[in-house]
Structure 1
């Protein structure tokens, strides 16, 4: 296939870009170096327009096809994320992170590099009708950068009709893609719980309100929401991931703090979990005499793929790797992804590309597999040329 052959020719360059980005990870909206590298390359490729600072540090490239748009489909958006994670890298790679406590542990370096490779090819060939918009987003890892770019005019300013995203998937073999219609990734909510009891001497617990005991009771009762308030055929996760209390072995602490996350796949289940959490917190407070404050913050919504665009994405992927290597209808996952905001704004689909037998995402030993570049970059190119056929 000509596309795959040309991407193979570009592979060394794309891998070099990826490794450079990997060595210089940046967090959330503070992706100034990465955004500058992206913008400079898009200009060098000959994009018709390069916009920086959208959604704080996002970058957008505009590439017009060599023919006028046909029919209703005029503009397609392709999105990659740029930010890294606050994790200390443990890979020992020659291009390991040069910044202590930060690393590309989710493959956003690979996502950015693959979309840059597609932008270079599309700007060279322009073998499509209409306009391709390449979107480089900050703050996917907990900052809702997608929502901020939309609020900053991304969709309307560029007239995007459909929007597509891609993520690498450890454990999915190289040369394979996976996708599903409907709810595909969970909503993500953050919970912060402050407990105030009555501190005292460890030898006189009857004169205190023990916040450690209150906290442990609360954790157990919160888990009963999933096991006893949610239909077993539905999906929900409540995970308390931090518990801070006390600083001495013989003092009952006055205060405790818990933080965690809630994941659901349906809006009504999300509403129910939030309601029951407030009820459980109030009940434990009455039972123990402690004051408990729950701060429930909704972050990203459920990522819902659109049926028609899933069909398009699966067909394009099959043209790259063969129908037998495109897994359609895979189970949803309880991880979150703020591309969900873009799919609420426009029809589209989010697809996974195989990263092979690698360490899992968000792990200190994770590394994006450069052998996946040819598949991901070719998918982006074929998606544009198919959807905006000249």
Structure 2
């Protein structure tokens, strides 16, 4: 089994070679090199041209009753690292600012144990590309990578948490992460001279009205005890101060703890867009893109069992509230029952921040907790 010192060195190497979604070539190659150093007796390794940077490893069980899946994401973010470390990112403008280097290292630690100690059940470790964008989980599922002997009966995965103490496991029944959907709106007005507004149809005025009305959806249409978010984060319009803009574009995000909430907000956006278009005699196009970023809804039975083990084991466990962050593991959980949970890393910088710096002591604690849980699960 890989030692704590070895795992830290693995993590530091991964931290130096971050790659963006669907470009994880060096990362996959390094993962394969590490896995090649493990005993191969029980292992079957799978790659696929359908998703070239994905990597799956099956561990054959002694007397399998089920196949248990464990997923880790492998891509990084377009963030320029501000940490001054000896193992700082060597790829300018790209950083493991969400801690996927920690995720991968924990997975390798767990895999290394079962490569030596044959599990009772079959295990499938899924090193998934493109979590941060491009919906890698959905791509893998829809392209048939998780089929046959590589299809889990249940799926588990972690996300590191900078606000939890190092090594703490956090989880909850129900939704852990919100689902997210992009919303894009293009307003087609009529441009004209600023001195003759009556001859134009000002896309900026229409956009301003639309933004204000969209903000009433959560404020006035959503139950205050429910959770929904609609944020318009980008508005682009106009070229110069004395020309009335003929076109405007809004870009935003919708988030909800259930798919029903996301669908409801999308419907209200369409209705309001149609009303504003009629009011201002304009054409307004609206599109949504959710991809695989469904709500991460933990299976009630499997999650209750996970929490039971963590509370009984020598593990620091916390019940955590839901978060409005998104994760494409939600798509996999909509197809295969399972559980996502937090691993505390006590970082001074938050997720996606240029100074995100997780405490490496969390790695081995995470490996120990997950290894123990999987062994317990296989006795049931």
TM-score w.r.t. length of structure 1: 0.91
In structure 2, C-alpha distance between the alignment counterparts of 1:52 and 1:40, rounded to whole Å = 14
Equivalent residue, structure 1, for 2:263: 271
Query: Do 2:81 and 2:94's aligned partners in 1 also have CA atoms closer than 8 Å?
Result: yes
Q: 2:22 aligns with which of 26, 29, 44?
A: 29
In structure 2, C-alpha distance between the alignment counterparts of 1:49 and 1:35, rounded to whole Å = 16
Q: 1:61 aligns with which of 50, 57, 62?
A: 57
Equivalent residue, structure 1, for 2:113: 121
Query: Do 1:163 and 1:349's aligned partners in 2 also have CA atoms closer than 8 Å?
Result: yes
Cα drift, residue 269 of structure 1: 2.1
Q: 1:11 aligns with which of 4, 20, 33?
A: 4
In structure 1, C-alpha distance between the alignment counterparts of 2:379 and 2:34, rounded to whole Å = 26
Q: 1:133 aligns with which of 124, 143, 167?
A: 124
In structure 2, C-alpha distance between the alignment counterparts of 1:343 and 1:168, rounded to whole Å = 18
In structure 2, C-alpha distance between the alignment counterparts of 1:63 and 1:268, rounded to whole Å = 37
Structure 1 gaps of 5+ residues are 1-5
Equivalent residue, structure 2, for 1:350: 340
Equivalent residue, structure 2, for 1:360: 350
Query: Do 1:78 and 1:380's aligned partners in 2 also have CA atoms closer than 8 Å?
Result: no
TM-score w.r.t. length of structure 2: 0.93
Output one character per residue of 1:265-311: Cα deviation in whole Å (capped at 9) or x when no partner: 22332222111101111111122233211012232222110122112
Number of matched pairs = 375
In structure 1, C-alpha distance between the alignment counterparts of 2:23 and 2:238, rounded to whole Å = 34
Cα drift, residue 208 of structure 1: 2.2
In structure 1, C-alpha distance between the alignment counterparts of 2:276 and 2:183, rounded to whole Å = 16
Structure with the higher fraction of residues in helix conformation: 1
Query: Do 2:167 and 2:366's aligned partners in 1 also have CA atoms closer than 8 Å?
Result: no
Q: Which secondary structure state, in structure 2, belongs to the residue aligned with residue 241 of structure 1?
A: strand
Equivalent residue, structure 1, for 2:294: 301
Segment drifting more, 105-114 vs 291-300: 291-300
Equivalent residue, structure 1, for 2:362: 372
Within 5 Å, give how 1:1-390 maps onto structure 2: 10-47=3-40, 48-53=43-48, 55-65=51-61, 67-69=62-64, 73-126=65-118, 128-157=119-148, 158-299=150-291, 300-318=293-311, 321-322=314-315, 325-328=316-319, 330-389=320-379
Equivalent residue, structure 2, for 1:3: none
Query: Do 2:347 and 2:357's aligned partners in 1 also have CA atoms closer than 8 Å?
Result: no
Q: Which secondary structure state, in structure 2, belongs to the residue aligned with residue 262 of structure 1?
A: strand
